[in-house]
Amino acid sequence: MMRWTAFISAGELDYESKTSYTLRIEAANKHVDNRFLSVGPFKDTTTVKIIVEDVDEPPEFSSRFYSMVESEAAKVGTSIGTVLAHDPDASNSPVRYSIDRNTDLERFFNIDANSGLITIAKPLDRETNAVHNITVLAIENQNPAQIGKGFVGISILDINDNAPEFAMEYETNVCENSPPGQVIQKISAVDKDEPSSGHWFYFSLPSEATNNINFTLQDNKDNTASLLTRRNGFRRQEQSVFYLPIVIVDSGSPSLSSTNTLTIRVCDCDADGVAQTCNAEAYILPAGLSTGALIAILACVLTLLVLVLLIVTMRRRKKEPFIFDEERDIRENIVRYDDEGGGEEDTEAFDMAALRNLNIIRDNKTRRDVTPEIQLLSRPSFKSAPDNVIFREFIWERLKEADVDPCAPPYDSLQTYAFEGNGSVAESLSSLESISSNSEQNYDYLSDWGPRFKRLADMYGSGEDHLYS
């Protein structure tokens, strides 16, 4: 019986390391019959040659991880280091280098595509980012799909480029009854830099505040300082807030310094030195005047102001009469009547002659969308017709105008008409015509009224010879 044997690789094959393998294989029968031992050995040998085929592989870096160090003071364009990759295939295709921008979003670094030299593209700041981990890509020129990856870690060395400052925003209070030499605040500092030997800060007052009569500063030599009073007692009435500048110097090379301002408030304290109130009202108010007294004074002032305004308003109203004379009342009176009326009896309430305008002449409007079959050929004479005929003809004429009016509302709408009439029967009562020559009025008596009426007598007199000519 024949059996097939499969060969399994014990490790990865590398064409670039070895292109072929030769194996000597022996096959033997495990079960031998003693009756046939004289026939000969029951085994055989053969030789097997394995040829490894070449496969295109991505470029490989000389190191899986590159560690580089650079100072944050390095200028743009400074070289940091070089990476190296090669094509492991027999063709040894050239490679190009680039940076995976997903690992360098702010583009702090650049790399030469041919040599793999990494340079600085933007100023570095250790306080913002102390370590940059970027990925470098090696791409085959002949097959860009083959990409190898290398990892670079760039550590940024610290320089002393940040000045120290207060460790926190201090709220310093001093009691009004504080004795001289009392510690009222202990301050410390922080620095964004991290020198290898650790931080060391020095505290002092600036030269212009050295002779300060209110406070003094003591450096404790342990990166802290104490603020002490120099005089006996403080008064909020004189000054409620003090601003004290403090200079802090670090131990860097070169050393940096900064001036920070400490705000000190004068407060009213209890027997244990605990601040009760630091408000400004205590020294704004006069001595012995409490808050309740101030509120009472303000209430009284407001009351007096209201009374004065009321008195002034009442006096203004008394100057003007509440009832107007009929001669001075020039307002228009609108009278509304809601009575439905009693039919023909309503004509007795007013003179119907006021509605009659015997000289009215109206132009008929013709509709443009219909043929004007009906035209008003003649108008009846209103002067001689009775009242009922005049009104009947007036209403019929308005109805015909509505029928031919293209802008008229629907036929079932309410039409309202008014008949003005022909005016007053007494005709014009104007005095403007009195100066005409036809006037029958004699104004010669004006000459007898004295010198004050001389001009009127000249204007309206009929004779040429007057008393005061």
Question: Which of 128-137, 161-170, 438-447 shows the lowest per-residue confidence on average (mean pLDDT)?
Answer: 438-447
Residue 137: predicted pLDDT: 96
Asked if 148 and 61 touch (Cβ cutoff 8 Å), the reply is yes
Cα distances from 18 to residues 22, 52, 61, in angstroms, run: 11, 7, 21
Tokens read off for 17? 């390391």
Are residues 247 and 355 both part of a single domain?
Answer: no
Is residue 125's pLDDT more than 90?
Answer: yes
Q: Enumerate the β-bridge partners of residue 265.
A: 173, 241
Check: CB of residue 137 under 8 Å from CB of residue 149.
yes
Between the alpha carbon of residue 323 and those of residues 319, 329, 330, 334, the distances in Å are: 12, 9, 13, 19
What pLDDT is recorded for position 29?
80
Q: What is the mean pLDDT of residues 198-220?
A: 91
Residue 362 lies in a domain: yes
Q: How confident is the model at residue 425 (pLDDT cuts 50, 70, 90)?
A: low
On whether both 128 and 202 belong to a single domain, the answer is no
In a domain, 400, yes or no: yes
pLDDT at 424: 58
Output the pLDDT for position 92: 82
The whole-model pTM stands at: 0.48
| Per-residue CA distances from 30 to 6, 7, 41, 174, 294 (Å) | 19, 20, 11, 105, 121
Say whether pLDDT at 436 is over 60.
no
State which of 11-20, 75-84, 316-325, 455-464 shows the largest mean pLDDT.
75-84
In whole angstroms, what is the distance from residue 368 CA to residue 39 CA?
Answer: 137
**Order of strands, sheet of 215-219, starting from the edge strand that comes earlier in the sequence:** 165-166, 183-190, 224-229, 215-219
User: Does residue 352 contact residue 345 with C-beta atoms inside 8 Å?
Assistant: no
Residue 371 has pLDDT above 50, yes or no: no
Q: CA–CA separation, 53 vs 248, rounded Å? A: 72
Q: What confidence tier does 190 reach under pLDDT thresholds 50, 70, 90?
A: very high
Same domain, 153 and 169: no
Looking at the fold, whether 184 and 127 belong to one and the same domain comes out as no
CA distance linking residue 184 with residue 228, whole number of Å: 6
Cα dihedral across residues 36, 39, 41, 45: positive or negative: negative
Q: How far is CA 77 from CA 112, 118, 170, 430, in A?
A: 12, 9, 43, 107
Q: 310 in a domain, yes or no?
A: no
Say how far apart CA 469 and CA 464 lie, in whole Å.
8
Pairwise pLDDT comparison (394 vs 96), residue with the higher score: 96
Tell which phi-psi region holds residue 431, choosing left (phi > 0), alpha (psi between -120 and 50) or beta: alpha
List of residues 6+ apart from 413 with CB closer than 8 A: none
- The residue with greater pLDDT, 453 or 441, is 453
- Among residues 252, 284, 316, which one ends one of the domains? 284
Which pLDDT band, with edges at 50, 70 and 90, does 343 fall under? low
* pLDDT surpassing 60 at residue 335: no
Count Cβ atoms within 10 A of the Cβ of residue 268 and give its class: 0-12 exposed, 13-18 middle, 19 or more buried: middle
- The answer to whether residue 363 is domain-embedded is yes
Mean pLDDT, range 44-70, rounded to an integer: 86
State whether 276 and 181 are in the same domain.
yes
Last residue of a domain, which of 127, 157, 187? 157
What are the φ and ψ backbone dihedral angles of 46, each rounded to 5 degrees?
A: -150, 165
When the pLDDT of each residue in the chain is averaged and rounded to a whole number, the result is 78
Place of tokens 């409490």: 290
- pLDDT tens by residue, 145-171: 999 999 999 999 999 999 999 999 999
> 144 and 65 in one domain?
yes
The reply to whether 10 falls in a domain is no
Are 185 and 224 within one domain?
yes
Which of 146, 133, 145 lies closest to 66, judged by CA? 133
Statement: residue 284 has pLDDT above 50: no
Among 220-234, 269-283, 430-444, which stretch is predicted with the lowest mean pLDDT? Answer: 430-444
Instruction: Kindly indicate the confidence band of residue 418, based on its pLDDT and cuts at 50, 70 and 90.
Output: low
Q: Where are the beta strands (DSSP E) in 305-390?
A: none
Q: Looking at the structure, do residues 274 and 177 belong to the same domain, yes or no?
A: yes
CA-to-CA dists, residue 441 to 382, 428, 445, angstroms: 36, 17, 11
What is the percent of the chain with per-residue pLDDT over 70, rounded to a whole number?
A: 69
Q: Does residue 15 carry a pLDDT above 70?
A: no
pLDDT for position 94: 92
Query: How many structural domains are present in the chain?
Result: 4
Boundary of a domain, candidates 268, 284, 300: 284
In a domain, 322, yes or no: no
Give 382's pLDDT tier (boundaries 50, 70, 90).
Answer: very low
Asked if the structure places residue 230 within a domain, the reply is yes
Query: Can you tell me the mean pLDDT for 360-387?
Result: 48
Token pair for 76: 């743009």
Question: Which range marks the domain in which residue 100 is found?
Answer: 60-157
Looking at residue 411, its pLDDT comes to 56
Same domain, 175 and 151: no
| Interval 75-84: pLDDT, tens | 999 999 999 9
| 409 has pLDDT over 50 | yes
CATH number at residue 187: 2.60.40.60
Q: Are residues 188 and 241 in the same domain?
A: yes
- Tell me, yes or no, whether 188 and 252 share the same domain: yes
Identify whether residues 462 and 418 lie together within a single domain: no
pLDDT of residue 427: 59
- With tokens 């004429």, the residue in question is 397
**Residue position matching structure tokens 């000969």:** 40
pLDDT at residue 375 greater than cutoff 50: no
Q: Is residue 291 a part of any domain in this protein?
A: no
Write the burial class of residue 253 (CB in 10 Å: 0-12 exposed, 13-18 middle, 19+ buried). Answer: exposed
Which helix (H) or strand (E) element contains residue 156?
strand 147-157
Three-state secondary structure call for residue 462: coil
